[in-house]
Structure 1
Amino acid sequence: MSSIVTKMREGTWIQPDLLSFAVKFALAAYVLAFVAVILVPNPYHVPTGSVLLTDFLSFWAAAREALVGMPASPYDTAAFQAYQTSLSGDPAAFFSFLYPPTFLLLVLPFGMTEFVTAFVAFSLAGLALFLPAMRAIIGTWRHAVAMLAAPMVINTVLHGQNALVSAGLLGLALVAMERRRHFLTGLLIGLLTYKPQLGLMIPVALLAAWDWRAIFGAAVSAVLFALASLAAFGVEPWLAFFAQAHLGTEILENGWVEWGKMVSVYSAARVLGLSSAVAWVCQGAAFVVAVIAVAVVWWRVRDFTARVCVLIAAGLLATPFALTYDLTVLLVPAAFLIRDVSSRGGLPWEVTGLALVVNLGAVTGGFGLYLGLPVAPLLVCIVLALGLARAKEKGADQPAAASPASGTS
C-alpha cells in the first residue's frame, strides 16, 4: 500500500508507453465517434433528418434567423422554440440562446450553409483555435495534438459547444501575457466577452497585477466587438438580450437544465438536496474565496503557472452558470502544468491531481445525474489547490519561469 501511495504522490505510476498508446487510441475513437454521430442513427438524429439535437442547433438557428433579417428572434423564447421545432420536427427539443449579440456575429458565417457542413466547420474552427494555444503553451505540435485526447475535447465537440474557442482565447491571451505582450493579451480577453460568465475573475487578476496595458486592450477589444455587432444587427438584439437576462437565473433555479449537468457550487448544492437560498449562499461564499485567491496570488506571486491555475479555476468556481463542457478551459492550466512538470519536475500529488482532472472532466454529468455526486466543483478545486500549492512553493519573491518560447515586445 505504501508503494502505491508513493507512486501516486510522485506521479511515477504513469507509464509513457501506455500513455502514448492511450492518446492514439483515444484520438482514433474520437474521430469514429464524431463520424458516427453524423452518419449512424442515434438519439442526436431528428424526424426531419436535417439537423442534429446538439447545442450547435441553437447557434446555427440563431445565425439563420440573423441572415434573414431577424437577429432579435433568438431572444424571443417562444418564437425561437417554434423555429427550432420546424427545423427538427421534435417539439420537445429546444436549445436556448443566452449569448450576447457579439457571439451571434461570430456564428453568423455558419448559418450560410446546411447544418451538417456548418457543424463540422464549427468543430474544426474550435480545434483550429485550441491547437495553436496548446502549441504555444507546451512548445511542440506533438504534445499539442496529444492534448486533444483529453475526454473534455470530444465532450465539447459532440455537444457542438464553444468551450474550445474559450480555451483557445484564454490560452493565447495568457501566453501573450507571459511573453509580455500585454496589449495583445487585452485584445484577446475582450473577445471573451461573448461568454462573460467565464471571465468574472479576469478583471480581479489584471487589477491585482496592475496590468493597465492589458486592461486598456481588453476595453478597446470589447467595445469594438460590441460596436461591430451593433453595425451588423442594430440595437434591437441588444435590447432583446438584456430583456431576457433573467432567463439564465430561471433556468438555473428551476433546474430546466439538470443541475447534474452543471459544474457550479450552486448546482452542486441543489444536487445534494439543498434549497435555492442555501445554494446561493454557498455560491456567494465560493465567489468570495475565488476573489481572494486570485487577488492574493496575482498580486504577490510571480510564478506564472500558479497564476494561471488559480485564475481559471477561480473563474469556474465563481460563476453559478457553467456546464460540463465548460470544464474544457481547465486544459489551459493543465497544459502549463504539463510544460513545467516535463521540464522541471512536479510537486507532490501534482501529476495525479492533473490526471484526475483531465480524465474525469467529461464524465461529471454522469456522476451528478445518475449517482447524485456533484464531482465537477471538486475537479475545479483540485486545479485551484495545485495553483495555490505552487504559489506557496515558489514564494512571493520567486521570479516567474520563462517559457520555452518566451520573449519581450
Structure 2
Amino acid sequence: MPIPHLQRREMAILAGGAMISALSWLAMVPWNFHGWMIGAPLGRDFVNFWMAPRLVLSGQGAVLVDLPAYSAAIKTAFGMTRDPLLVFVYPPHALLLFAPFAALPFLPGVLLWTAVNLTGLAVTTRMLLQESPARWPILVACVSPPAVAMMMYGHFGGLLALATTVALIEAGRRPVLAGLCLAFLSTKPQFACAIGLMLLLTGQWRCLVAGAVATLALVVASAGLFGIEVWQRFITVTMPMQSAYITGFDAKMIETSVTAYFAARYSGLPASAAWAIQCVVSAACLAFGVAALRRGARDPGVLVVVILGALVMQPYVSHYDLAIAAPALALLVLGHAPGAAPSTVAAWILVPMARILIVFDLPILGVLVPGALFAQAHRLLRPQGTLVPQRAALDAAA
C-alpha cells in the first residue's frame, strides 16, 4: 500500500498530536507515583490488572467487589494515603491474560505490558502496510495520541487492535483463527458482540461458532483456575455496579467516555433524550460498519469505520479504547485514501485530553468521535464521483 511523502499539512497534524500528547501526559504529573499515576510514570489502570490476579490467587477474590477493601489493598501495596478510586470490572477470564504480568514486580510488569501492547500496534500496522517498504508509519501509530492515551491509562488496546484486525481480515478465509481472536475480544464483551454482529450480518458466521467455543473454553479454564465464585461475584455484583455507573450517570467514574450518550447526559439532557440519541447513533454505526465490511476488511478506511462503529455504538467506551483503531487511523492521517476527515483529525489529536476536557466541563470527544465515524463512513461509502480531494480536508484540519 503506497504512502505519500509527508507534506507540511501532515507534518503539522503530527506535530500537533505530539504536542497535545506530551502536554496531556505532563498534566498527569507522571513523576509523582502516589498521585494520579500509581507506582510508575504510566499505566495507571494497570494497577487493576496487576492487583486482581494477585488477590484472586491468594484467596481474596471477594475483595474485588468490596470497594473499600479493594481501595485499602491498593493503598497498602503502593504506600498510598488517598483513595485511588479504582474498580476492577473485567470478566474473570480476562485474569488469564493479566496473571502472567501480575507475577512480576509492578514496575517491570507495567513496562512489559506497555511494550507488548506497543508491539501489537506495530504488528497490526505492518499488516495493513502489506507490501509497502515504509516503516515510519509503524512509529507514527505507536506514538500516536490514541496510543499515548492507552499507555497513560495502562490498557491493552494494542493487543485488542491486533485481535480485531485479524478477526475482521481472516473471518472468511480462516474462521477458526478469527474465532480465536473474537474469544480474546470477549475480555471486552460489548465490543466483541458488536464486531460479531457486524460479521454475522455480512454472512461470516463460521468464525462466530469458533469464537463461542473458544470463549466457553476460556470461561471454563478461568473457573477451574480461579474458582466459580469469582464468576458469581462478577455477574451478581460487578455487572450491576458497572451498569449503574452508566444508567445512573456517575460522571466521575466514566469521565473519559467518548460516546454520544455521555456527551448528551453531561450536557444536561434528560436520560430519555440521551438514550434516544444513543439509539440513533448505534443504529447508524451498525449500518455503516456492515456496509463498510462488505467492501473487504484489509483497507484502513474500512477498518476505521468498522472499529469506530463498534466502539461508539456503545453507551460507554473510554478514550483509551481508540487505540484499537490507532493503526488504521494513523494511515488515514498520513494520507491513505479516503483520507482523514477534519473531525477525525481533531478527535485523533485531542484523544489524550479526555480527562482534562472534562475538568473544564467540555465533553467534546463525545461529539467528535461519533462525528469522525460519520464523516469517515461518508467518505468511504459515497459514490466516487463525489469525492473531495483529501488535501482540501487536510488543509481544513491543519
Is the pair's TM-score, using the shorter chain for normalization, greater than 0.5? Answer: yes
Residue number in structure 2 paired with 1:170 = 164
Looking at structure 2, the residues matched to 41 and 294 of structure 1 have their Cα atoms a distance apart, in angstroms, of 41
> Pick from 81, 105, 111: which aligns with 1:120?
111
Answering whether residue 373 of structure 2 is matched by residue 383 of structure 1, we say: yes
Amino acid corresponding to residue 235 of structure 1 in structure 2: I
Q: Equivalences for 1:363-382 in 2 at 5 Å? A: 363-382=353-372
Q: TM-score, normalised by structure 2?
A: 0.81
> Pick from 184, 192, 195: which aligns with 2:188?
195
> Pick from 258, 261, 265: which aligns with 1:263?
258
Residue number in structure 2 paired with 1:93 = 84
> Pick from 207, 210, 217: which aligns with 1:214?
207
Deviations 1:234-269 (A, max 9, x none): 211111100121111222224253554211222111
Q: Equivalences for 1:214-363 in 2 at 5 Å? A: 214-244=207-237, 245-252=239-246, 253-255=248-250, 257=252, 260-298=255-293, 301-302=295-296, 305=299, 306-335=301-330, 337=332, 341-342=335-336, 346-347=337-338, 350=340, 352-363=342-353
Looking at structure 2, the residues matched to 40 and 225 of structure 1 have their Cα atoms a distance apart, in angstroms, of 38
Answering whether residue 149 of structure 2 is matched by residue 149 of structure 1, we say: no
Alpha-carbon distance change, 374 to 50 in structure 1, aligned in 2, over 3 angstroms = closer
Deviations 1:361-395 (A, max 9, x none): 22233333314243234223313431343123369
Amino acid corresponding to residue 97 of structure 2 in structure 1: L
Deviations 1:264-296 (A, max 9, x none): 222111221112333223222322222333344
Contact map agreement 2:18 2:144 (CA 8 A) in 1: no
How many residues align? The count is 373
Amino acid corresponding to residue 68 of structure 1 in structure 2: S
Deviations 1:75-103 (A, max 9, x none): 33343223123224334222100000111
Contact map agreement 1:313 1:384 (CA 8 A) in 2: no
Deviation at residue 221 of structure 1 after TM alignment: 2.1
Contact map agreement 2:13 2:345 (CA 8 A) in 1: no
* Residue ranges of structure 2 left out of the alignment (5+ in a row): 386-398
Looking at structure 1, the residues matched to 302 and 212 of structure 2 have their Cα atoms a distance apart, in angstroms, of 22
Looking at structure 2, the residues matched to 13 and 185 of structure 1 have their Cα atoms a distance apart, in angstroms, of 34
What percentage of aligned pairs have identical amino acids? 21
Answering whether residue 56 of structure 2 is matched by residue 62 of structure 1, we say: no
Looking at structure 2, the residues matched to 129 and 144 of structure 1 have their Cα atoms a distance apart, in angstroms, of 11
RMSD: 3.6
Contact map agreement 1:324 1:376 (CA 8 A) in 2: no
Residue number in structure 2 paired with 1:399 = none
Looking at structure 2, the residues matched to 161 and 264 of structure 1 have their Cα atoms a distance apart, in angstroms, of 18
Q: TM-score, normalised by structure 1?
A: 0.79
Amino acid corresponding to residue 266 of structure 1 in structure 2: Y
Looking at structure 1, the residues matched to 162 and 141 of structure 2 have their Cα atoms a distance apart, in angstroms, of 12
Deviations 1:19-45 (A, max 9, x none): 69849977x969x97xx83x5667346
Looking at structure 2, the residues matched to 332 and 166 of structure 1 have their Cα atoms a distance apart, in angstroms, of 11
* Residue ranges of structure 1 left out of the alignment (5+ in a row): 1-10, 396-409
Deviation at residue 16 of structure 1 after TM alignment: 7.8
